[in-house]
Chains A and B, each alone.
Chain A
Amino acid sequence: MSGRWLAKRFGRALVTLWLLMSFTFVALHLSADPALQILGPEAGPEAIADFNRRWGLDRPYWEQYVRHLGRLAILDFGQSFRTSDPALDMVTARVPATLALMLPTAVLALALGIPLGVLAAIRRNTLVDRAAMTAAVVGYAIPNFLVGILLIYLFSVWLGWLQPSGIVDWRSWLMPVATMASAEAAVFARFARSATAEMLGHPMMRTALANGIPWPQAVREHALPNAAIPVVTVAGLFLGSLIGGGVITENVFAWPGLGRMLVDAVAARDYSVVQTIVLLIGVTMVVANLLVDLAYGWIDPRIRDQRR
């Protein structure tokens, strides 16, 4: 594919990240004062003034903005207002915990959702289909935190089988993963069903059958590869949301990952930490988008020709 296309996509990615950073900056600065949050309501005016001077918060907004962008350009992510540790180190230290939670979730969601959706499409309008789609709607409609809390109530409080929070042993994974995977699998199932159903009705299936190709082979070799295209999009975007997707669940289960850190940092108005995490989420999203676009071009020859 052409270098021009790649350069355009890259440029757009940069603009997206810039807009993201700017929006975060404005949102943070328009809300409460970090000095008061961190030093406490009893802090005296000199302590507050010192705090602000130290962190450059007494400068005009536009100057703070420009300095901020400038620091980002040299990959300086600043320091935490609370601990003075470099924000980047703090954030990267938490990444493994989040990944440890999200990767099994992703695998489970894909492995459960997609086959379920495909099966539902093949057995359209039968009991299997209706049951699967009802389960999908339920899984999608109930909010994560509610599922999490219900699971905690059932397995920790009532049955006493599982620890409700933190990472203790392998069993700590069960509830958080179940919470998130159920919602994601539901989305995949519905997408896979509609993509597969559409391809099953495509005229190329009729031609293959008329030429003597048995139906299972036609589904395997024609319908499914074509149905993969929209599913790849959804899966790719989901992978992009891996870092930031666990915010609610991590908080419900007190999981020591980025989601929890983000919520704590926002509450404390710890600017640098918040901005670093947001930037990390943004970058993974943008990269995932780009990978999905590349995958498209690899899978679909029509797109390849368009991009030439």
Chain B
Amino acid sequence: MTEPLGPPAKLSVRDARLSYPGRGSRPVPAVDGVSFEVAAGETLGIVGESGCGKSSLAKLIVRLARGGEGEVRLDGDRIDDRGTAAWKALRRRLQYVFQDPLGALDPRMPVLAQVREPLDIHRIGTPATRRRRASDVLDAVGIGPHLFDSAPSGLSGGQRQRVVLARALVLEPDVLLCDEPVSALDVSVQAQVLGLLSGLRERLGLTMLFISHDLAVVRHVSDRVAVLYLGRIVELGEVDPVFTRPAHPYTVALLDAVPRLDGRADRIRLAGETPSAAARPAGCAFAARCPAAQDRCRGSDPELVQLADGRRVACHFPYVLEVR
């Protein structure tokens, strides 16, 4: 894998691994060797179904999960092996947005106070400037001054998620990690928040990691996308090629499964379910469900290799299909 020389990627992850204690003595690998890079100002989408490890990956990067392995670098500097004090300074540059807005906020504390809190904790500016900065950020996400003293329990889902965004952005981070940020919202509100996110991203030059199970949403916000299956990346590339000409059979099936408005009749249907991470089959993990599986697939686990158009696929027989 030859990368062109230049400034290091904004965020790079190399061979990330995270296991949970399983029944008996064997740990269950949730993240099983994931590597990728995100350039400054770019948005990388991460998609996958349950058990693919996307949430665990996010927690690993932000060190919310214990026991993670692998190298995580911010602007080329390793952040995974720093002590608590250094990490606290780094946290400013790497912020995390959760899925459940009410769970991420104190339901009773006024909204302005919660957005101010990170500034107080990191002792940025003076109390006067902190208040102003918090109100500026709230304004930027579309929360008007009349709501500053409201508690999250009195706000709608969309408003809460805006507050969560504001709190993440008040520290002016370089990188924003969003884990299913719009999944709990109604469609009409989801569109509002996605629009807001796009606008902020451009204005602030944010680098983003956007995790979601919703392929259409990911396609909408991301520049590149990584498809995860059972803890590993199976396809990684720019959004348009991956979504219009998917190379990995799982990506094909995933795209086909998404309900379309035209209700096309002829589609690939994947049978069965994702195998348990505790009992990872030998060879390619997807072989059991793969329509194109051959003997070689069951015998040997494919590595992530680069295709001609710059995409990476982990498949012995990747194909390029037009999505019907």
* Residues on A facing B (Cβ under 8 Å): 305-306, 308
Q: Mark B176-220, 1 if CB is under 8 A from A, else 0.
A: 000000000000000000000000000000000000000000000
User: Would you give the shortest CB distance from A239 to chain B, in whole angstroms?
Assistant: 31
Q: Is B23 part of the contact surface with A, judged by Cβ < 8 Å?
A: yes
The chain A residue with its CB closest to the CB of B23 is A308
Q: How far is the CB of B22 from chain A (nearest CB, A)?
A: 11
CB-CB contacts of B3-25 with A at 8 A, as 1s and 0s?
A: 00000000000000000000110
Chain B residues lying within 8 Å of A308, measured Cβ to Cβ, are 23-24
Query: Which residues of B218-277 have CB atoms within 8 Å of chain A's CB atoms?
Result: none
Interface of A is mostly: helix
Which B residues touch A306, using CB under 8 A? 23
**Which residues of B (15-37) have their CB < 8 Å from a CB of A?**
23-24
Report Cα–Cα, A204/B24, bound state, in Å.
Answer: 30
Chain B interface, DSSP helix/strand/loop, else mixed: loop
- A305 to chain B: which residues have CB within 8 Å? 23
CA distance A306 to B23 in the complex (A): 7
A297 to chain B, nearest CB (A): 15
Chain A residue numbers with a CB within 8 Å of B24 are 308
Task: Please report B residues at the A interface, Cβ cutoff 8 Å.
Answer: 23-24
Could you give 4 example pairs across A and B, Cβ below 8 Å?
A305-B23, A306-B23, A308-B23, A308-B24
Tell me the smallest distance from the CB of B18 to a CB of chain A, in Å: 21
Closest A residue to B24 by CB, please name it.
A308
Closest Cβ–Cβ distance, residue B170 to chain A (whole Å) = 38
A308 to B23 CA separation, bound complex (whole angstroms):
7
* Alpha-carbon distance between A167 and B24 when the two chains are bound, in angstroms: 56
CB distance from B20 to the nearest CB of A (A): 13
Q: Which residue of B lies closest to A307 (CB)?
A: B23
Closest-CB distance, A191 to chain B (whole angstroms)? 27
Q: How far is the CB of A57 from chain B (nearest CB, A)?
A: 51
B169 to chain A, nearest CB (A): 37
Give chain A residues whose Cβ lies under 8 Å from the Cβ of B23.
Answer: 305-306, 308
- A277 to B: closest C-beta gap in Å: 42
User: Which 4 pairs of residues, A with B, have the shortest CB-CB distance?
Assistant: A308-B23, A305-B23, A308-B24, A306-B23
| Distance between B38 CB and nearest chain A CB, rounded to angstroms | 38
Considering the chains assembled together, what is the distance between the CA atoms of A306 and B21 in angstroms? Answer: 11
Q: How far is the CB of A110 from chain B (nearest CB, A)?
A: 35
From A305, which residue of chain B is reached at the shortest CB distance?
B23
- Give the distance in Å from the alpha carbon of A281 to the alpha carbon of B24 in the complex: 35
Would you give the shortest CB distance from B165 to chain A, in whole angstroms?
32
A80 to B24: give the CA distance in the assembly, Å.
Answer: 50
Minimum Cβ distance to chain B for residue A105 (Å): 42
Bound CA–CA A308/B24 (angstroms) = 7
Distance of A305 Cα from B278 Cα, bound (Å): 15
Which residue of the partner chain B has the closest CB to A2? B24
Q: Nearest chain A CB to B23's CB is how many angstroms away?
A: 6
Least CB separation from A306: chain B residue: B23
Looking at the assembled complex, report how far the CB atom of A230 sits from the nearest CB atom of chain B, in whole angstroms: 24
A308 to B22 Cα, complex, angstroms: 11
A8 CB, nearest partner CB in chain B, Å: 15
Cα of A8 to Cα of B23 in the assembled complex, Å: 17
A305–B23 Cα distance when bound, in Å, is: 8
B120 to chain A, nearest CB (A): 38
The answer for the CA separation of A307 and B280 in the assembled complex, in Å, is 23
- Give Cα A306 to B22, complex, Å: 10
Q: How far is the CB of B21 from chain A (nearest CB, A)?
A: 11
Instruction: Report B295 CB to chain A, min CB distance, Å.
Output: 36
Minimum distance in angstroms from B25 CB to a CB of chain A = 10
- What is the CA–CA distance of A291 and B117 in the complex, to the nearest angstrom? 47
A101 CB to nearest chain B CB (Å): 46
- Residue in B closest to A308 when the chains form the complex, CB atoms: B23
Complex CA gap A308/B25 in Å reads 11
Closest-CB distance, B210 to chain A (whole angstroms): 31
A305 to B22, CA, bound (A): 11
* Bound CA–CA A305/B24 (angstroms): 10
Alpha-carbon distance A276/B79, docked complex (angstroms): 58
A220 to B23, CA, bound (A): 33
* Distance (whole angstroms) from the CB of B313 to the closest CB of chain A: 37
With both chains docked as a complex, state the minimum distance between the C-beta of B27 and any C-beta of chain A, in angstroms. 16
